[in-house]
Structure 1
Amino acid sequence: MKFFIDTANLDQIREANDLGVLDGVTTNPSLMEKEGIKGKENQQKHYIEICNIVDGDVSAEVIATDYEGMIREGEELAALHPHIVVKVPCIADGIKAIKHFSGKGIRTNCTLVFSPGQALLAAKAGATYVSPFVGRLDDICSDGIDVVRKIVEMYSLYGFKTQVLAASIRHTQHIIQCIEVGADVATCPLSAIKGLLKHPLTDSGLAQFLADYKKVNG
């Protein structure tokens, strides 16, 4: 499974990349705002900075919600860097835009997906990635991981090439569950990725090794 980091923070992206396990980045205008990156020109420069750090796909989201606006913004974003994947919401005009981009060779990430039906439309339109939002489904007492599982099984059954990019990952256990149901990608906060390193037996084992070494070597 691929690891993407879900942030616009350059320090976190560098740290994740330095671990040697990072495959890409997802970000959006809200995450840009959180980092104080305001204005179209500054945001585009920031996307390029991210692309220069990571040797992998970087999802950059359109703001427009109409077909013409999505096409205009998406083509601008795709032209910024070869790593850019245009992130498009799963609405009617978004599906139409994904079909257009697919025909132009522009890769896409269909975002805000909450059902297998939405994922089916995105795949048929030619989306490169589809992003079911695990945590947000859990928030309304639904089962986000089960939706990911159903999408993975549907794509496998019908031979769709669209990759399942599990999003809205809240914690390390979500990552483990995404692995178990066969997600192609999980986009996560840095804390969730680093959480995979933690195990009490690793800590106690290392402490014992060091103690034994000290006894022998003084």
Structure 2
Amino acid sequence: MNQLESLKKFTTVVIDSSDIQSIQKYHPEDATTNPAIILRSVKSDSYKFLVNDAINYAKKQGGSKEVMIVNASDKIAVNIGTEILKYIPGRISTEIDSRLSFNTIESISKAKKLINMYKANGIEDHRILIKLAATWEGIRAAEEIEKNGIKCNLTLIFSVNQARACAEANVFLISPFVGRIYDWHNKQNFTPQYLVDKDPGVKLIKDIYNYYKNHQYKTIIMGASFRRIEQIIALAGCDYLTISPILLKELQNNYEPLTKKLKLFFNKVISDSSLISESEFRWEHNQNPMAVEKLSEGIRQFSIDQYTLDKLIASKF
């Protein structure tokens, strides 16, 4: 049994890609997308027919060029998600425009629009995760979206503080970014020898895992943004892990024994029984320089990808 097969015994494996060949090869349960993945898909010949369909859709909807660009962009994301769902048994995560990360009302509106677009493609609600950045506004949007029976994936998680707020809002799933946390700490204090037990991204997942399990939260933890196979192996037993095709291949080609690593222990991190307030959330977030920098950076980078996608779409009208 290879390590990918072993991992699937303990953890739901999700693919962080829109590549259909990889999806067919590794047989993940779910798939995640983001603006960078959508942008790569748009540039691929294999998704050209879906892009053309989105352009034609936007033209039929009419409106100003700006409106048509937005409609085409949303339709592209939904079309790609719909195509991926043909090859997986579970859910597809589709991301809200990151430029709405600080606008609760507009995020809710965008989520409803995407869900309706999926319905028009014949996709039921239970197969979709609406993906939002874990800002205070994004978490509040997710809370309302979940009340309407739509499941959410809160992304760009870099702290227990964010994870706590998401669980208290009863969101379905969170995505802590292991690799980006590792990148930040490695840049601050570079060490040539890698020790997975010292990896701060791995440690955060363990802290959230124990905090959630000790508080009996139902929110799913999905480790994301991996840089090394050691990070994945160390987190065997996490609820979900979303993994790139490159690392899935490495797991599939490795036959070293893989056992469940995550185990519950009493965790004293955040013992307050009251719900976190907005002021407390913002204060705690700003006490964590890594979380502040990486959340902001992630939103900016996704917005850059979205602007690039908008330009590509605009050239087709």
TM-score (normalised: structure 2): 0.59
Once the two structures are TM-superposed, the CA of residue 34 in structure 1 deviates from its matched residue by 1.4
Kept after mapping to 2: 8 A contact 1:23/1:54: yes
Gapped regions of structure 2 (runs ≥ 5): 1-10, 44-50, 52-72, 186-198, 258-317
Once the two structures are TM-superposed, the CA of residue 42 in structure 1 deviates from its matched residue by 2.2
How many aligned positions are there?
196
| Aligned match of 1:134 | 178
Kept after mapping to 2: 8 A contact 1:96/1:125: yes
The partner residue of 1:68 within 90, 101, 105 is: 105
Kept after mapping to 2: 8 A contact 1:51/1:84: no
Once the two structures are TM-superposed, the CA of residue 174 in structure 1 deviates from its matched residue by 1.7
Higher mean alpha-carbon deviation, 98-107 vs 28-37, is at 28-37
Once the two structures are TM-superposed, the CA of residue 201 in structure 1 deviates from its matched residue by 7.8
Deviations 1:113-172 (A, max 9, x none): 000110000011111111100000000117100000000000011100001000101232
The partner residue of 1:198 within 250, 253, 256 is: 253
- Alignment-mate amino acid for residue 152 of structure 1: Y
Higher mean alpha-carbon deviation, 160-169 vs 32-41, is at 32-41
Say whether residues 1:178 and 2:222 are aligned partners.
no
CA distance in 1, matches of 2:177, 2:140: 21
Higher mean alpha-carbon deviation, 128-137 vs 56-65, is at 56-65
| Aligned match of 1:52 | 86
Deviations 1:15-66 (A, max 9, x none): 222xxxx110011111110122663222221111111221101111000221
CA distance in 2, matches of 1:67, 1:176: 36
CA distance in 2, matches of 1:191, 1:77: 29
Once the two structures are TM-superposed, the CA of residue 97 in structure 1 deviates from its matched residue by 0.6
Gapped regions of structure 1 (runs ≥ 5): 203-218
Higher relative contact order (CA 8 A, sep 6+): 2
- CA gap 1:106/1:197 in 2 versus in 1, 3 angstroms: same
- CA gap 1:200/1:99 in 2 versus in 1, 3 angstroms: closer
How do 1:1-218 and structure 2 match up within 5 A?
1-17=11-27, 22-36=28-42, 39-63=73-97, 64-65=100-101, 66-79=103-116, 80=118, 81-82=123-124, 83-141=127-185, 143-179=200-236, 182-199=237-254
- CA gap 1:199/1:16 in 2 versus in 1, 3 angstroms: closer
Kept after mapping to 1: 8 A contact 2:13/2:243: yes
- Show structure 1 runs of 4+ deviating over 6 A: none
| Aligned match of 2:265 | none
What percent of counterpart residues are identical?
A: 27
| Aligned match of 2:305 | none
Once the two structures are TM-superposed, the CA of residue 69 in structure 1 deviates from its matched residue by 1.6
Q: CA RMSD, aligned part only?
A: 1.8
Once the two structures are TM-superposed, the CA of residue 200 in structure 1 deviates from its matched residue by 7.3
TM-score (normalised: structure 1): 0.84
